[in-house]
Amino acid sequence: MKKISIVLTAIALVLSSCADFLDVKPTNQAAASLSIMNESDAKVMLNGLYSALTTSSFYGRNFILYGDAKSGDLTVQSNGRGYDYMFAYNHSVSGYSMSGFWTSGYNIIMLCNNIIENIDRLKEEGTTGLDEYRAQALTIRAMVHYDMCRLYGKCYNDDKSSYGIPIADKTVPAGAQLLRNSVEEVYSVVIRDLDDAATSLSKKKNNGFVNYYANRALKARALMDMENYSGALSLAEEIINSGVYKLYTNKEWAASWSSQFGSESIFELGMYVNEGDLGNTGCLGAQYILGGGNGRNNQIFMASKAFLELLGEDPDDVRWEIMGQDQVGESEGYLRPGSCYKYYGSKDMKGDGKASSSAVNIKLIRLSEIYLIAAEAAARTSNASKASSYYAEIHKRSPNLPVPNGITAAMVLNEKNKELFGEGLRFWDLIRTNATIVMDDTTPDVKVTTRETSFTRSFYKCILPIYNGEMNANPGIRAQQNPGY
């Protein structure tokens, strides 16, 4: 009897440790459901969200590059280098579909929803003090919906009832197969979320993170698309008049690129060594300079002839200080300053004060853009004095050019082109204003067969296709593919 009981106890001991033996957890990951239990957890997940924004497939590089490469501001010296397919509008459903925007965009949105829903749950349980984090996640969710809608859908003032993107304003379950909402619906969700978030955001400068003014700036951009110029003007003025930000003087302008979180940075995305740093072949800066990208002698993008002529209106323009020799000039033996060093800090490529010169913060929203939005909105609502005063502030940077009487929207857009070159904004202005996009196809070694040289937003490749992978997993969306693809 004793022997049996010993054996049985031994078996019982063994079996009870069974459960623990088979419970193997990873040491660098934790259960998702327990990831946000208090305020410091929420901050950690929020940091992770910002880290996800720095992905090269979106704000870390491609989104900025896209807005320049497709605008006629850039040209290439040779085919087959880096991202020249953006320049060539070489998009198709399975080749160069730029699906990274879709997949990383929704990944970011999913992280936002995770933070928002967990914070809502904690609030119900009584925790307070989390509203600021929630509002930041909400603003980012709205921003990504807005940017993705412009990538995949027609401009609001072109056809707002056409397809935008599927709205994901709560966590989407694994088996869901959402279909595209209209552009109008997406914009209304974006505006709703931005306004909801604005009430809880801090009105202080928040380096590396979103604050109240970044939120208002995003709304101002959206309102410009919707042709609500008076709304955009009042938001822009709220930012300008807050006193939180200050424009760079002409002396400070070039140096502003080699330091972090300057006085104009409303939303500056931090790119840090060992975090978002993409290195010397992959970083945003490398795409625009001589010696960047794939090797010492192969420049990927450089300024187009048209842009150089525009900026060349004033040879003493402050903005020349960040431009340098490019490969076309180098190989033909003259100075052609088509390389832009904004994302390498300076022409000496010293970065912005971090250990790696390729880890340069990305200035997503700057005060100069706000002044120009205000000037354009004022010009379009016949507010001549405001248009003139805001325009003049930026126009100062070309000291030899006088300020004209009577500022038109077209003049503001030219100034915007000079100021914000290389910051990923030009293409969106051309689309919004239904302008003719003229690409620079003059470089001898280059052939482009996938588009004409000059076209308007009616060209179907101005928006991206829904890529194969999504259509295969979500068959219903196939019927909603963008026209022409």
Partner 1 sequence: MLYEVFWDYNYYWTSSNKGDAAKSSANAISRMKTKFNKHGYDFIASGTGRYDPVQVVEYDNSGRGGKYFDWEKAYFGTGVYQTYDLSVSGGSDVASYYTSVSYTKDQGRVKINAYDRISGRVNLDQKVGKHVELATTVNIASTDRSGYNDTWNNGSNLFMQTRSLLWGLYWPTDYKTGEDWTARYGSYGQNNLYYNNKWSNDSKTLKTSINEALTVHIIPGLDAKTIFSFDNTDTKDEYYISAEHFNAPTVDGKAVARSISMDTEVRKIVSSTTVSYNKTFGAHTLGLLAGFEAERNNTRFSRAEGKNLSTSALHTVATAGVLDANAYSWGNSMMSILSRAEYNYDNRYYLSGSFRRDGSSRLSPLTRWGNFWSVAGSWRISNESFMQNQDVISNLRLRASYGVNGTLPSSNYGWRALAAYGYNYNAAPGGILSNVASDDLRWEKSYTYNLALEFGLFDNRLNGSVEYFNRDSKDLLMNVPISRVTGFSSTLRNIGEVNNHGFEVELSGDIIRNSNFRWTMGINGAFTRSKVTRLYREEGKSVGQDIIWYDPTGGDGLCQFIYREGQSMLAVYGFEWAGVEKSSGLNIWYSNNENYDFKDENGRNIVYDYGDADEVILADLVPIVHGGITTDLSWKGLTLGLNFNYKIGKMYDGAEQNTTDDGYFWERIRSRNMWENRWTDANPNGTLPRIIGNDSEDFEQYSSRHIHNGSFIRLKTVTLSYNLPKSLIGKIGLQGTRVYFSGQNLLTFAAWKYCDPEVNAYGTQGWGTPIARTYTFGLEFSF
- Min dist CB 386 to partner 1, Å, is 37
1 vs 174 by CB, closer to partner 1: 174
Query: To which residue do tokens 């327990």 refer?
Result: 34
Nearer to partner 1, 264 or 441 (CB): 441
Smallest gap, in angstroms, from Cβ of residue 31 to partner 1? Answer: 6
Least distance between partner 1 and beta carbon 26 (Å): 5
Asked whether the beta carbons of 36 and 115 are under 8 A apart, the reply is yes
Q: Which is nearer to partner 1, 294 or 454 (CB)?
A: 294
348-385 b/e with 16+ CB inside 10 Å = b? ebebbebebbbbbbbbbbbbbbbbbbbbbbbbbeebee
In this structure, what token pair is assigned to residue 179? Answer: 């279909």
| Residue closer to partner 1 (CB basis): 106 or 213 | 106
Residue 3 or 251: the one with the smaller Cβ distance to partner 1 is: 3
Cα distance between residue 133 and residue 249, in whole Å = 34
Determine how many CB atoms are found less than 10 A away from the CB of residue 30.
11
Our CB check for partner 1 shows the closer of 95 and 129 to be 95
Distance CA 240, CA 198 (A): 17
- Taking the complex as a whole, how short is the minimal distance between the CB of residue 357 and partner 1, in angstroms? 5
Q: Within 13 A of 290's CA, how many CA atoms are on the CB side? A: 18
What is the closest distance, in whole angstroms, from the C-beta atom of residue 259 to partner 1 in the complex? 14
- The HSE-up count of residue 439 (CA atoms within 13 Å, CB side) is 25
Residue pointed to by tokens 């002044």: 371
CB closer to partner 1, 49 vs 437: 49
Residue 81: count other Cβ atoms within 10 Å of its Cβ: 18
> Please, what is the minimum distance in Å from the beta carbon of residue 306 to partner 1?
17
- Length of the chain (residues): 485
Give the largest CA-CA distance in the chain: 109
Rounded least distance, CB 363 to partner 1, Å: 16
Q: How far is the CB of 280 from partner 1 (least distance, A)?
A: 5
Min. distance of Cβ 50 from partner 1 in angstroms? 4
Of 49 and 240, which CB lies nearer to partner 1 in the complex structure?
49
| Integer Cα distance of 41 and 439 in angstroms | 48
In DSSP terms, 362 is beta-bridged to 269
- How do 265-269 and 323-324 pair as beta strands? unpaired
Q: Which is nearer to partner 1, 25 or 251 (CB)?
A: 25
Burial 276-304 (b: 16+ CB within 10 A, else e): bbbebebbbbbbbbbbbbeeeeebbbbbb
Q: What is the DSSP letter of 160?
A: T
For strand 301-303 and strand 74-76, is the pairing parallel, antiparallel, or unpaired?
antiparallel
CB of 451 to partner 1, least distance (A): 12
Task: Give 126-137 as a 3 state SS string.
Answer: CCCCCHHHHHHH
Phi, psi (5° rounding) for residue 151?
A: -70, -40
What 310-315 contacts at long range (C-beta under 8 Å, 24+ apart), as own/partner pairs, is 310/414, 310/417, 310/418, 311/418, 311/421, 313/398, 313/401, 314/398, 314/399, 314/400, 314/401, 315/400
Nearer to partner 1, 49 or 394 (CB): 49
Least distance (Å) between residue 418 CB and partner 1: 26
Nearest CA to 151 out of 410, 369, 424 is that of 424
Q: For residue 268, what is the DSSP state?
A: E
Tell me whether residue 23 or residue 125 sits nearer to partner 1 (CB atom): 23
Q: Which residue, 90 or 188, is less far from partner 1 as judged by CB?
A: 90
The CB-of-400 to partner 1 minimum distance in angstroms stands at 32
Q: Cα separations (Å) of 383 from 221, 233, 387, 477?
A: 19, 10, 6, 45
